[in-house]
Structure 1
Amino acid sequence: MNGSRVQRPLDCSLRELHAVSCVAAEANFGRAARRLGIAQATLSGQVRKVEEALGARLFERRGRRFLVTDEGRALLPQIDGLLAAAGALADESRRLASAELRPLRVGVIPTLGPYLVPHLLAHAGGAASAAARRKGPAELPFEVSEHRTAELLELLAVGAIDAAVLAPSGREPGLVLEPLFTEPFRLLARRGSAILGVKRLVPNCLDAHEMVLLEEGHCMRDHALAICHAGSGDEPKLAAASIETLKYLVAAGAGYSLLPALACSIPTELGTVLELRAFDGQAPSRHVALAARTGYPRLGEVGRLAAWIREAVRARAPIVAE
């Protein structure tokens, strides 16, 4: 431990420092008291408090004469600088709490991004047009990036993004989850495939060994294997890098697969080759949520964004449910 002296905090308030600055500006205690709207005795007490905290006399009063001491001339610019810094701090705090805030940075998993974000952009465009017509504020802005679940969780943890749209596993500590919607899965198969011939399609009909799934690292792969009740040693016939690649592999006869409802559009050239089939009874599904760090200071905005996404999905993608 070094022998340097520990500095004690200045034992006076910003209000008292402002009173000192006002006295210096007016060069008169009476005028300063009227400007501040306080009694002159109260003002004198505030100035005395600052002088005691500084250990220096700032002003001299001799009858009608008013003088700034040598110590006052040295310290008053620093007092004014401190007050200016405090004002800037308050301004910045107000700015951060206002609509001038930067847009929320929202990450989305790749099996949702291409299929959900267009609905959100269309909804935002419609809302912006309506807002322009009524000269009101536009909808809450946000920026979107796409990452796999593990990367999203890491980006959230280090503050590189503010929120993430994902399909939580229930093993995400330290996160607040805002439910968005439940997305059912459908069977995707090449026309004429044996799986399409079953009388009643239920999850027990599925065999992971006959399926084309996404590569490891995609949460949708884990969901599909769980739906099949597959064990750790069960591997699909083939793994695809994306949902769109998966569609072409199924069309080529590599196996059948599962598609989340939002991704069930079929490329035009595959329309006569592929067939989608809904499950009988309660369809297997995934729960989608907007996640943010526990204690994140803008959780209120995250909650409003979640409500806005739910509204957009209700309006533009009714195939999924809350």
Structure 2
Amino acid sequence: MEMRQIRYFQCVAQELSFTKAALRLHIAQPPLSRQIRQLEEELGVQLFERLGRSIRLTDAGKFFFDKTMQLSARLNDVVTATRRIAESGKKWFGIGFVPSIMYGFGPTLFRKMRALGLQAEIGLSEMTTVEQLKALRAGQIDIGFGRITLDDPHIAGLTLLQEPLVLAVPAQHPLAARHQVLLGDIVALSYVLYPAKPRPSYADHVIGLFEQRGHRLSVVFEANEMQTAIGLVAAGLGVTLVPSAVTRMQRDDVVFIPLNEPDFTSPIVMSWLKDSGSPFLEDVVALARQTAKEAAVTTRK
């Protein structure tokens, strides 16, 4: 599959006419039709319904159009940023992060990084802890902030914080009126876990907390995103455990209940390549440690 084929497909999808698309692309119609057929063969799906002289997108075609347009927009942003870095002479500093740190620690740290005045173009990429380690080894990011500790001889890791976990339940749940819950209150509940993949992940951390105490978790759904898991909770399909910072999320269909189990926590783990050549890494590591200390003091108050 080539970018050219995708660009041709997008043009045909917008015009809903091979003739108009060919004119817009400044190519003859037969080669355009041939490229679309090849694309459909490679995908193994029909993207267009041919209705005499008119065409329309199939459901698969609508999905492919939507997603490829998103990818094209993202690619354009990448091209623009690449040119900006080259023109400014700035270096690149890539950061990977799990979504759950964006309810407290993450935004605070990133604001401080901007105030620090690093002569770098800072890139933020949402990714799981496993994906962060792969990206670090590949040189795609310079530092990562995840939720689990993974052993890798090439990666340095530091636990910055231990966030208490809280129970997320539907607003109409029998436990919703409680000010706190005990382990005995929640072991028999049905759980929505996240992320489903790649593993190991925060989901395995939660399972492990229960297994260490001799309990087997009843998992009814697995979601790839925390927001999806909370949405499934709101729908009454189960409960889930989330880091306490997530309680800043304002929802009227989900209640977050403190868990009176001191060891039920989730770490924020900072990781970086041991032989990193980034000139900014030392400053960012120090800033992250200071931010974590301040957050820990605030949590204890």
Aligned residues of 2:163 and 2:268 also touching (Cα < 8 A) = yes
The answer on 1:247 being equivalent to 2:236 is: no
Q: Which has the larger radius of gyration?
A: 1
Q: 2:283 aligned with 1:284, yes or no?
A: no
Partner of 2:246: 263
Shift of 1:222: 1.4
Residue 155, structure 1, aligned to residue 135, structure 2: yes
Given that 2:197 and 2:224 are in contact with CA atoms closer than 8 Å, whether structure 1 keeps it comes out as no
1:210 Cα deviation (Å)? 0.5
Distance between the aligned counterparts of 1:148 and 1:220, measured in 2?
9
CA distance in 2, matches of 1:199, 1:261: 14
SS of equivalent residue, structure 1 residue 263:
helix
Structure 1: distance between partners of 2:98 and 2:266: 13
Query: Does the 8 A contact of 2:181 with 2:260 survive in 1?
Result: yes
Q: Quick one: which of 193, 217, 221 aligns to 2:203?
A: 221
Residue 97 of structure 2 corresponds to 108
Give the aligned partner of residue 305 of structure 1: 284
Please tell me the residue identity of whatever aligns with 2:247: C
Aligned residue among 209, 212, 215 for 2:192: 212
Report how many aligned residue pairs link the two structures. 208
Question: Offset of 1:263 from its aligned partner?
Answer: 1.9
User: Identity of counterpart residues, as a percentage?
Assistant: 18
Q: 2:220 aligns with which of 225, 230, 237?
A: 237
Q: Is the 8 A contact 1:210 1:256 kept in 2?
A: yes
Between 101-110 and 158-167, the greater mean CA deviation after superposition: 101-110
Residues 301, 232 of structure 1: CA spacing in aligned structure 2 closer, same or farther, 3 A cutoff? farther
- After TM superposition, give the deviation of residue 110 of structure 1 in Å: 3.3
**Residues 253, 238 of structure 1: CA spacing in aligned structure 2 closer, same or farther, 3 A cutoff?**
same
Question: For 1:66-105, what aligned pairs fall within 5 Å after superposition?
Answer: 102-105=91-94
The TM-score normalised by the length of structure 2 is 0.57
> Separation in 1 of the partners of 2:187 and 2:159?
30
Counterpart code for 1:311: Q
1:222 and 1:306 mapped to 2: Cα distance? 27
- CA 284–305 in structure 1, closer or farther in 2 if over 3 Å, else same: same
The corresponding residue for 2:5 is: none
Amino acid at match of 1:186: V
Distance (whole Å) between structure 1 residues aligned to residue 92 and residue 275 of structure 2: 18
> Structure 2: which 5+ runs fail to align?
1-88
Instruction: Say whether the 8 Å CA contact 2:189–2:218 is kept in structure 1.
Output: yes
Residue in 2 aligned with 1:123?
A: 112
How far apart in 2 are the matches of 1:226 and 1:320?
Answer: 24
Counterpart amino acid of residue 308 in structure 1: L
1:175-190 correspondence runs (5 A): 175-190=155-170
Root-mean-square deviation (CA, aligned residues, Å) is: 3.4
Cα 1:109/1:201, change in 2 over 3 Å: same
> Structure 1's 293 and 242: CA in aligned 2 closer, same or farther, altered over 3 A?
same
Q: How far apart are residue 175 of structure 1 and its match?
A: 1.2
Give the equivalent residue in structure 2 for 1:31.
none
1:202 maps to 2:182:
yes
Partner of 2:229, secondary structure, is helix
Query: What TM-score does the superposition give when structure 1 sets the normalisation length?
Result: 0.54
Distance 2:188 2:224 in 1: 17
Query: 1:30-79, CA deviations, whole angstroms, 9 ceiling, x for partnerless residues?
Result: xxxxxxxxxxxxxxxxxxxxxxxxxxxxxxxxxxxxxxxxxxxxxxxxxx
Asked whether the 8 Å contact 1:186–1:261 carries over to 2, the reply is yes
Q: How far apart, CA to CA, are the structure 2 residues paired with 1:171 and 1:197?
A: 41
Q: Is the 8 A contact 1:150 1:217 kept in 2?
A: no
| Residues 1:302 and 1:168: Cα distance change in structure 2 (over 3 Å) | farther
Shift of 1:169: 2.6
The secondary structure found in structure 2 opposite 1:264 is: helix
